């Protein structure tokens, strides 16, 4: 089977869209403050209720993969159908700095993780890495959920299906 055949088959599985965020700490205590990093993901799922665990798949060697290898605290914002622009912005290849990408997006900083939680998201989870599992050209990061927020009940989820963002209905 070719990569194209596999990609075409998997494009027929609808997936929810999330924004994974983490705060990269400052390199030195007296240096510039750390940076906020974000990444759009569709390979995200619940793993366990007791203990509460989730899983996100990260491209090996990506900025988020490298950061989460060092920073155990991170967050996930489950994007609503009205947040397609956020998903597209953080999925761009060769994009500008994440600091500029977050500039006009409403958010709060998670009290537990220090990561940004997107305003208007359907839900947000703050996590601590429990396991990292190499899997082909990706790393599966399993996180223990430390806190959950349900800031919005409006609208439906943002979905990814057949290579495009979609919504229910």
**Quick check: is 19 in a domain?**
yes
What is the span of the domain harbouring residue 158? Answer: 3-24+35-167
CATH number at residue 131: 2.30.110.10
In a domain, 103, yes or no: yes
Give me the pLDDT at residue 34, please: 81
Average pLDDT on 85-91 reads 94
- What is the reported pTM? 0.92
Among 111, 117, 118, 122, smallest CA distance to 151 is for 122
Rounded to the nearest integer, the mean pLDDT of the chain is 91
Find the mean pLDDT for residues 137-150.
97
Domain count, the chain: 1
In this prediction, residues 136-151 reach a mean pLDDT of: 96
Distance CA 140, CA 90 (A): 19
Q: Is residue 95 part of a domain?
A: yes
Quickly list H helices, 11-153.
63-70, 84-91, 98-102
Q: Given this model, what pLDDT does residue 90 score?
A: 93
Helix then strand then coil, % of the chain, to nearest 5: 20, 45, 35
Domain-located, residue 104: yes
Mean pLDDT across the stretch 15-38?
85
User: Is residue 29 situated within a structural domain?
Assistant: no
Question: How many whole angstroms separate alpha carbon 7 and alpha carbon 146?
Answer: 33
Residue 168 has pLDDT above 70, yes or no: yes
Which is more confident, 98 or 103?
A: 103
* pLDDT of res. 32: 62
């Amino acid at each position: 089977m070719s990569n194209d055949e596999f990609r075409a088959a998997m494009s027929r599985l609808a997936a929810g869209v999330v924004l994974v965020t983490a705060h990269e700490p400052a390199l030195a205590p007296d240096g510039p403050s750390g940076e906020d990093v974000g990444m759009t993901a569709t390979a995200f799922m619940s793993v366990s209720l007791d203990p509460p665990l989730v899983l996100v798949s990260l491209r090996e060697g990506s900025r988020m993969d490298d950061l989460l290898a060092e920073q155990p605290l991170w967050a996930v914002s489950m994007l609503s159908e009205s947040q397609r622009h956020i998903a597209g912005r953080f999925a761009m290849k060769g994009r500008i700095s994440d600091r500029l990408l977050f500039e006009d997006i409403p958010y709060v900083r998670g009290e537990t993780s220090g990561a940004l939680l997107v305003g208007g998201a359907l839900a947000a989870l703050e996590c601590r890495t429990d396991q990292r599992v190499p899997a082909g050209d990706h790393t599966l990061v399993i996180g223990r959920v430390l806190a959950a927020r349900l800031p919005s009940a409006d609208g439906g989820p943002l979905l990814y299906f057949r290579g495009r963002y979609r919504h229910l209905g």
